[in-house]
């Protein structure tokens, strides 16, 4: 098989070298880079040579819509923009399968990989999975007397959480409690189907031996990422671990800005997902398998629902929330699955760094409640004595 003809579209010039470093030139033939400031000139960076074109020249490549794989790259703060570019390309007859989210390095978290390496090699009492609400909102220092590791991550869906648990249980039999971070839209969200974040799956594809991505996007990424990217996975050790994501919590330990309030409707829209029966059923199956896995391994699974800020709580669709809670009640009846539902927990805006994520002050307050609930419900009594995280 010959090299794949690719066009790299970069929305931020400062990220160009990083995008080029992530590309495997043994498998890719770089036909062009489209970037602001490109003027059709030939550019050489190290051993890499390419021609940089301005966006006004994009039409020359759209005349042959099936010929190229389009790699779209920008900063994670502008991630929605690459979906807008993707829609523009599709509107010009570029096949969807020819368009790849090429945000790579920003989606590979060495602390998360370090935590995974740590839990492979050390007995722990507790692990946590979930989306970013769990990543920043769970303070393991407040879950007293237990050795815990946070394996949550931004945009992690229930499939990925289940794969993490499978991977860890195969290597670590000491786990007694599994905290499963959930959101009201968890059953409606699937990472692989969300173009703006699907490249995050690469972290699980290469970090977990049991993870697969048979999508066209996943197969292309596997072929097109460089050895430099793959080296991150082979070189990371438990010395890179941050079991409580304390460094991340210190970064997001800030107060709400005016921008958060100005964009509250956009945030609310982002926290609601369309209902697709197939997606719902797949996620429900993943969570059921996750619960069954925990119980079979002698661990108690506990769902954790983190709070949103006041305006989001007030305006969140009641039908979506009711369906979510009915599903959790069915799981409780079927498996005894406990959920600590703090969606309506009355925290004011001081406890958030944006309208859906807790800051450090909020994480401590909510984690104290989680700790108390674990004790009150007798779940903690099932654990062996450990040492507090520190």
Q: Which two tokens stand for residue 313?
A: 């709580």
Element (H, E) at 180: strand 177-182
Q: Which two tokens stand for residue 202?
A: 């690469």
With a CB cutoff of 8 Å and minimum separation 6, the contacts of 226 are 21, 22, 23, 24, 25
Locate tokens 């370090």: which residue?
Answer: 114
Domains of the chain: 4-103 (3.40.50), 107-382 (3.40.50.1110)
Supply the Cα-derived Rg of the chain in whole angstroms.
22
Confidence at residue 193, expressed as pLDDT on a 0 to 100 scale: 82
Confidence at residue 122, expressed as pLDDT on a 0 to 100 scale: 94
Q: Are 62 and 88 a contacting pair, CB within 8 Å? A: no
Helix (H, G, I), strand (E, B) or coil at 343: coil
Q: Are 361 and 295 a contacting pair, CB within 8 Å? A: no
Confidence at residue 252, expressed as pLDDT on a 0 to 100 scale: 83
User: In the chain, which stretches have pLDDT less than 50?
Assistant: 382-390
Distance (Å, rounded) from C-alpha 371 to C-alpha 304?
11
Confidence at residue 214, expressed as pLDDT on a 0 to 100 scale: 78
Confidence at residue 1, expressed as pLDDT on a 0 to 100 scale: 56
């Amino acid at each position: 098989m010959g090299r794949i003809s690719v066009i790299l579209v970069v929305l931020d010039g400062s990220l160009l070298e990083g995008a080029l470093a992530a590309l495997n030139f043994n498998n890719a033939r770089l036909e062009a880079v489209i970037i602001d400031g490109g003027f059709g000139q030939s550019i050489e960076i190290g051993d890499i040579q390419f021609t940089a074109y301005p966006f006004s020249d994009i039409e020359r490549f759209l005349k042959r819509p099936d010929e190229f794989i389009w790699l779209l790259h920008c900063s994670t703060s502008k991630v929605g923009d690459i979906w807008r570019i993707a829609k523009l390309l599709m509107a010009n007859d570029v096949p969807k399968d020819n368009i790849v989210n090429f945000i790579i390095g920003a989606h590979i978290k060495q602390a998360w990989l370090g935590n995974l390496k740590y839990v492979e090699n050390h007995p722990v009492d507790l692990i946590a999975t979930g989306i970013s609400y769990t990543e920043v909102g769970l303070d393991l220092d407040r879950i007293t007397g237990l050795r815990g590791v946070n394996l949550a991550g931004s945009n992690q869906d229930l499939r990925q959480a289940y794969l993490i648990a499978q991977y860890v249980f195969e290597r670590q039999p000491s786990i007694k409690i599994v905290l499963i971070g959930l959101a009201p839209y968890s059953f409606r969200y699937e990472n692989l189907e969300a173009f703006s974040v699907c490249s995050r799956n690469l972290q699980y594809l290469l970090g977990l031996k049991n993870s697969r991505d048979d999508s066209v996007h996943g197969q292309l990424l596997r072929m097109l990422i460089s050895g430099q990217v793959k080296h991150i996975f082979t070189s990371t050790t438990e010395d890179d671990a941050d079991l409580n994501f304390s460094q991340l919590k210190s970064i997001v330990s800030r107060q709400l800005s005016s921008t958060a309030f100005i964009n509250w409707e956009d945030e609310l829209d982002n926290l609601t997902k369309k209902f697709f029966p197939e997606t719902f059923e797949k996620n429900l199956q993943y969570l059921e398998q996750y619960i069954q896995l925990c119980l079979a391994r002698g661990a108690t699974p506990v769902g954790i629902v983190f709070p949103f800020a006041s305006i989001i709580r007030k305006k969140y669709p009641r039908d979506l929330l009711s369906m979510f809670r009915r599903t959790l009640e069915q799981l409780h009846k079927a498996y005894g699955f406990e959920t600590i539902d703090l969606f309506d927990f009355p925290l004011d805006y001081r406890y958030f760094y944006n309208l859906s994520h807790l800051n450090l002050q909020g994480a401590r307050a909510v984690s104290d409640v989680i700790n108390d609930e674990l004790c009150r419900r007798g779940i903690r009594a099932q654990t062996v004595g450990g040492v507090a995280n520190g």
